[in-house]
Chain A
Amino acid sequence: MARVVVDVMLKPEILDPQGQAVQRALPRLGFTGIADVRQGKRFELEVEGPVDDAALARIREAAETFLANTVIEDFTVRVEEAAK
């Protein structure tokens, strides 16, 4: 079974208060040198059957209509071999 990963990130122009809070916490914990943090979502889809162009097209459609809100978010779709 193949795994398809959909990463969803807020668009660069949308303020990400969660990422900012993480960024502010890092130096307090001794992790210095991090200039910016943005937080997103990762979906791992285990696909039944072959991950062909048609399957990927359907997943892109799902990402565009449901997994991401393209008004404020961008997404990427990539195939990953599932762990045996």
Chain B
Amino acid sequence: MKKKNSKIPKKVWLLLSFLTAMVLWTLLSMNEKTARSFPNVIVTFRSMTTMIERGVFFQDIKSSLISVSAGFAIGFVLSLPVAILMAWYIPVRNIIEPWIQFIRNIPPLAYVPLVVISAGVGRKPQIIVITIATFLIMTVTIYQGVLNVDETLIKAARVLGATDKDIFLKVIAPATLPFIITAIRLGSSTALTTLIAAESTGAVAGLGMRIRSLNNSFESEPMLLYIIIIGIIGMLVEKFVKFLERRFTGWQEKREA
């Protein structure tokens, strides 16, 4: 399919990719029509000082990270037992699954007002919105993983003397691990993409909240900067998930090169 091994090392490719984006960005910033969305690269990054001077920059990052981590963590802790119960007990599955599929396709922004009515404004509704979104996607993923455990592995364990408990702890749990890591990957990216919706609940700080408020004051430089920061956070999380994958599921047959 692709030619094997061009002699250019990966780091150089990365640099080339980065430069290409910079050139494109610069071109967009010179075009009159797109210049207002894409201010000059240097001006954009210089806006960081403005935001720091206003005393909101680190505040925003910190606030968003707290909401995202808390929402993700609660979503993860809830999704594990629910997914396992769904996979093991058909009545549980039949009752819960349709609703998970139903709610999963509703954009979080749509139910934010309902959350605010009950939970008020502040940190609480932000965490609730992110928890709902991450819980749904991770439950579906882990549930599929438990269902997909190779039946012959369970049989093999049984004929070697495994009890139900052994099968759960020593076969199903490790066999599901790759799906749990996929769930973490999908859940963390969902947590970030839900950020804007979550912080539209009357938040006082946060990357998503700030982007909306900068929009109202037509400050596109820091707005673009904030968007890029969300992207960078996403990339760092992905790196971490890759690390988990290598560390814990290196035994898998299929791995991307």
Check if A and B associate.
no
